[in-house]
Amino acid sequence: IVAQFAPRCLAGKQILITAGPTIEKIDPVRAITNLSSGKMGYAMAQAALDAGATVTLISGPSCLTPPQNATIIKVESASDMLAAVNQHVAASDIFISVAAVADYRPELAHEQKIKKTADMLTLNLTPNVDILAQVAQRPQPPFCVGFAAETENLIANGTTKRQRKNIPLLVVNRAQDALGSDSNEVTLLDDHGAHPLARADKSSIARQIIQHLANLYQEAK
């Protein structure tokens, strides 16, 4: 790991980043979602800008102010996010998938508010497309970076996930450490192995990840 941040290490690169949660409507007033503040994704966008890249940030609902100089596209559902990614991915050199995408959505979103008449309510959920895996399967994929929040067996689960999605770099963290926090403790998994980073604030972690991925990106070319 190179601790030093080379300011122009991504100059001229086009980077696409997803951030925040997605929300999947149940009816007009209710939704299911993942717990994600968007902090790590927005910090990645800022670090990529600082490294000289041009950044498009596709964000699910978040209270954060997007970094100045990023092109921001706001979305709600996983399928909105997928459509936005598909629109921008061909022009991107690097895709960084930080979003906590909902794995399932209600099979049907009710047009009218569901009334609480029944004792028990069952929702049928249907799987969403894995956006990152789908991008990685393109004939000429951008350099793909994934994030995984795990609750146990971080390295083993992360390694399997990186292989399953066929991506060069996966950043894994403990969900309990990252959620809502301003700091994070992550391990970078790549073809060379596992590289743990010391706990630090998310902007510092983001800069270290950007530096690491810039090195791998150079290596891959």
182 binds, among ligand CTP, Ca ion, none (CB under 5 to 8 A by kind): none
Q: Which residues in the 58-97 window bind ligand CTP by CB under 6 A?
A: 78, 97
Q: By CB under 6 A, is residue 147 in contact with ligand CTP? A: yes
Q: By CB under 6 A, is residue 54 in contact with ligand CTP? A: no
Determine how many CB atoms are found less than 10 A away from the CB of residue 148: 20
From the candidates 34, 128, 173, 184, give the one annotated as an active-site residue. Answer: 34
Q: Choose which of 19, 73, 94, 148 interacts with ligand CTP (CB under 6 A).
A: 148
Q: Choose which of 27, 80, 93, 130 interacts with ligand CTP (CB under 6 A).
A: 130
Say if CB 144 and CB 167 are below 8 A apart: yes
The closest of 65, 64, 77, 73 to 34, measured between CA atoms, is 77
Q: By CB under 6 A, is residue 56 in contact with ligand CTP? A: no
Say if CB 162 and CB 146 are below 8 A apart: yes
Of the pair 8, 137, the CB lying nearest ligand CTP is at 137
Q: Is 143 marked as binding a ligand? A: no
Residue-level length of the chain: 221
Give me the residue label for tokens 């706990």: 199
> Phi, psi at residue 216, to the nearest 5°?
-65, -40
Q: Is 161 marked as binding a ligand? A: yes
92 binds, among ligand CTP, Ca ion, none (CB under 5 to 8 A by kind): none
Residue at 89: amino acid letter: V
Q: Choose which of 35, 90, 103, 194 interacts with Ca ion (CB under 5 A).
A: 103
Whole-angstrom Cα distance, residue 198 to residue 65?
Answer: 27
148 binds, among ligand CTP, Ca ion, none (CB under 5 to 8 A by kind): ligand CTP
Give the angle subtended at the CA of 21 by the CAs of 16 and 23, to the nearest 5°: 120
Say if CB 124 and CB 92 are below 8 A apart: no
Q: Is 13 marked as binding a ligand? A: no
> How is residue 99 written in tokens?
């979003």
The closest of 69, 68, 55 to 19, measured between CA atoms, is 55
Q: How far is the CB of 84 from ligand CTP (least distance, A)?
A: 12
Q: Which residues bind ligand CTP (CB under 6 A)?
A: 78, 97, 99, 101, 103, 128, 130-132, 146-148, 161
Annotated binding-site residue numbers for CTP:
103, 113, 147, 161, 165
Catalytic residues: 34
Q: Which residues bind Ca ion (CB under 5 A)?
A: 103
Annotated binding-site residue numbers:
103, 113, 147, 161, 165
